[in-house]
Structure 1
Amino acid sequence: MIIIGIAGGTGSGKTTVVNNIARQFSSDEVAILSQDSYYRDSGHLTMEDRRLLNFDHPDSIEFSLLNRHLELLKKGQSIEEPDYSYLTCTRSGKTRTVEPRPVVIVEGILVLCNSSLRKLMDIKVFVDCDSDLRLSRVIKRDTVERGRNLHETLQRYEDTVRPSHLQFIEPTKRFADIIIPEGGNNEVAIRILTNFIKQIL
């Protein structure tokens, strides 16, 4: 089994990179785990307090569960990936069954922050992108998909997203084996990474 970690800032194009890679393989060859599924449940907090959570801080992720799930997959066992809702900031109680596959991709802004998680990875990738383009994508995503208005989105970017990116996410670039500039628009880098995976398989 090859475990690939794909990190990068919010709105950098990680999901596009992952989808472009996954399209080159069958569902029997590739499984994808999203770091977002492993956000800690905050059902015990009021909705007002949930909106103040910093989703770009490593403490927001239940890394112990994510690590355990990857270890189970490596042993050939299926896992139940949590279902997390950004609208309610809680786990729904539902899960998604993920079966072991020859290639497992773990994607998320903080997946290179955790040393135990990095040790499980065979290839570490950082998707790089200019901050102004990332902000544009964050505004579109948060206002359309996550129920935030423009003011809330910009305030959150200034208060937590940008500072956390500089403190926690950008520094993990040094752990990457491969850096993909321009995110999902870099077809050459994606093709090189895809061919590399095919050679290993």
Structure 2
Amino acid sequence: MSIFLPPSFNYNLPSAGVFFIGLAGGADSGKETLCKVLIERLQKSQVVDSSKALLLHLHDFYRELTDEDRVRVASGLYNFDHPDAFDWDLLAEVMDDAKEGKLTRIPKFDFSTKRRSYEMRSSHVESPSVVLLEGILVLYSQKIRDLLNMKLFIDVDDDVRLANRVARKVAEPNPDTTDHILTEYVRFVKPAFDDFVQPSKKWADIIIPRGAENETAIELITSHAADLLGRQQLSNSTRPSRMNSSTGLLGMSNTGSNTSSACPSPRPVSRVSAVHSEAGSRSSMPSSPVPRKDVLSDSTDSLYKPVPE
């Protein structure tokens, strides 16, 4: 069985020579694990060198905390899952630097001190060919979505994510109590997922149930990304997507011998029910700019507002 997708589902080769993949999903859904699997598969495809794949974490782009913020953190009242907790301008700047091949400094957020430092990158990763960005709100900001070539959303059951969170928190060097973990989840994590993370799924090109366990989804994503990158290396210019817009079939139409020789059609992928595309409904939806709200408000109601339509 071949994969049929709506005609509006369309990728273009990245003109800047950098392929950006964004992966969003709920907290503790296995986003980082899936990104590492994708990087490994892309490297095995031999179109991505091990030194040219870069993984960025949204949680490293928390904004600098003020003195008032730190008081809130100490009291357990600061919401790290709210969109206002992130420095979106800095993230866009780092992605623009990666696109231009001048990436030298990447922020690193220290959760023990709640302070941001910068990692100095060596020259061999200053010009990555693939950049993966993972985080709960990767698809929330239009500014960031516009920089992504492929947008993914990992869909994992709420109970599984909560179980993963408890297991991770109690295994840390300074473990939290179960009561503290559940209180934090109910007060911040779950409402933020319902109001911000889950609605951002509508912007995803591909939704991945079960995460890194979904071999069919991983095969589809890596083969498509590798094909785009391989054709870009051959042509060194922007080419039409391998999506046949007239039929919605994943694969290039054989319009000429030169095209077919440089861009072989991918083999069909079976069991496609494991991967869902929402791009057809996404095309008519308006953008959702990041709203400004008071992340420090004492009122829980003021922290959580639906994603603007």
* TM bin (shorter chain): over 0.9
Give CA deviations for 1:160-180 in whole Å, capped at 9, x if unaligned.
Answer: 100000000000110000110
Choose 125-134 or 99-108, whichever is displaced more: 99-108
Give CA deviations for 1:129-164 in whole Å, capped at 9, x if unaligned.
Answer: 000000001111223237422111100000010000
Aligned residues: 200
What residue in structure 1 maps to residue 245 of structure 2? none
One-letter amino acid matched to 1:28: S
RMSD: 1.7
Which structure has greater helix proportion? 1
How much identity, in percent, do the aligned residues show? 34
One-letter amino acid matched to 2:26: G
Take 1:75 and 1:46, find their aligned partners in 2: how far apart are those partners?
A: 34
Give 1:43 deviation, angstroms. 6.3
What SS is found at the alignment partner of 1:74?
Answer: helix
**Matches for 1:27-176 after TM superposition, within 5 Å:** 27-42=50-65, 44-45=67-68, 49-50=72-73, 51-91=76-116, 93-97=117-121, 99-145=126-172, 147-176=175-204
One-letter amino acid matched to 2:155: D
Contact 1:87–1:147 (Cα < 8 Å) also in 2: no
One-letter amino acid matched to 1:34: H
Choose 11-20 or 38-47, whichever is displaced more: 38-47
Take 1:105 and 1:96, find their aligned partners in 2: how far apart are those partners?
A: 18
One-letter amino acid matched to 1:84: F
* Structure 1 segments unaligned to the other structure (5+ residues): none
Please identify the structure whose Cα radius of gyration is greater: 2
Q: Would the alpha carbon gap of residues 148 and 48 (structure 1) be closer, same or farther in structure 2, given more than 3 Å must change?
A: farther
Q: TM-score if structure 2 supplies the norm length?
A: 0.61
One-letter amino acid matched to 2:32: T
What residue in structure 2 maps to residue 4 of structure 1? 21
* Structure 2 segments unaligned to the other structure (5+ residues): 1-17, 44-48, 230-309
Contact 1:69–1:79 (Cα < 8 Å) also in 2: no
Take 2:120 and 2:154, find their aligned partners in 1: how far apart are those partners?
A: 26
Which structure has greater strand proportion? 1
Take 2:118 and 2:225, find their aligned partners in 1: how far apart are those partners?
A: 32
One-letter amino acid matched to 1:111: V
Take 1:184 and 1:43, find their aligned partners in 2: how far apart are those partners?
A: 37
